[in-house]
Amino acid sequence: MGFRVISLRTPTAKLIFLTLLLIGLAAGLNPRVLHAHPATVPDIPVYRVKTSQKVMALTINVVWGTSYVPQLAQILEKAGVPATFMLGGAWAKAHPDLVRQLARDGNELGNHGWNHAHPTQLGYEALVDDIRRTNDTIQSIAGVMPTVYAPPYGEFNRTVLQAAQSLHMTLTMWTIDTIDWRPSSSVDYMVNKISRLKAPGAIVLMHPTDRTVAALPLIIEVLKADGYRLVTVTRLLQSGTPATDAQ
C-alpha cells in the first residue's frame, strides 16, 4: 500500500499540517519524549553488540527474589555502575518503592512481561497487551518508559519479535548466562564463567539470588580490573552494531 499525498494548498490542509508540526516540535522539546524510544529498533533478537569499546552490560531479570533486589542495587551504587533491571509488570506494581529506587540510582528499567507467561504461547495481540501493560505500569511508577524487552524464559519467535518491535522495544537476550537460578551455580562458577567469556559488547544475564548478591562485587571487580566499563543495555546498543550470535 502506497502513501497518499495530501496537498497543502487548501486552508484546512495547511491547518492540519501546522497542527501536526507544532505537536512534533512540542514532543521534541520534552526530554521524556525525546528519550522514550531509540531512533531505530533492531529487527533481530540482540545477543550482544559488535563494538571495539570495552563495554559490557549486566541485566537482572526480576519477577521473584525481592529480598535480594535492594542488596544488588546497593552493590551497584557503591561500585558506581548501572545495570538493566528487566522487571515483571506484576512485580513492579507490587513493589513501586523498589522500582523508583532502582531508577533513582541510575539503573535502566526494562520489560520482562507482565507475569512471566510463556511469550511463544501468546498470540500477537495478547503479547502486545502484555508488553504494553508492563511498560505503562513501570512508566506510571518511575516516570520512565522501558525500551528493552527480555522475553520470559528467553523464548521468542517471529510473533514475539514483531510484537516487541510494534512498541519500539528491542528484544534483548544475553551473551553470558550465569544460570544463577540453579542452586548448583556457585559464586565461583559465576565469576569464573564471566571472567572466561567476557568480551566487548557482551550482555550478562542474572537474577536476584543470594549467590548473585555474593558474586556481583567480584564480577564487577574482575571486569573493571580488565578495563571494562559497565553500562546499561541501551548505552551498549549505542556503542556498536547489534548482533544475534552469542559469541
Phi-psi sector, 80: left (phi>0), alpha (psi -120 to 50), beta: left
Q: pLDDT tens-digit profile of 93-119?
A: 999 999 999 999 999 999 999 999 999
The pLDDT score that the predictor gives to residue 245 is 79
Kind of pairing, strands 148-149 and 170-171?
A: parallel
| pTM, rounded to two decimals | 0.84
CB contact at 8 A, 73 and 107: yes
The per-residue DSSP string of 53-120 comes to S-EEEEEEEESS-GGGHHHHHHHHHHHT---EEEE-HHHHHH-HHHHHHHHHTTPEEEE--SS---GG
CA dist 216 and 30 (Å) reads: 36
CA dist 174 → 63, 105, 229 (Å)? 18, 23, 17
Q: pLDDT tens-digit profile of 159-195?
A: 999 999 999 999 999 999 999 999 999 999 999 999 9
Sign of the Cα torsion 61, 67, 73, 75 reads negative
In tens digits, the chain (247 residues) has pLDDT values of 333 333 434 444 444 434 443 344 343 333 323 334 455 788 899 999 999 999 999 999 999 999 999 999 999 999 999 999 999 999 999 999 999 999 999 999 999 999 999 999 999 999 999 999 999 999 999 999 999 999 999 999 999 999 999 999 999 999 999 999 999 999 999 999 999 999 999 999 999 999 999 999 999 999 999 999 999 999 999 999 999 976 5
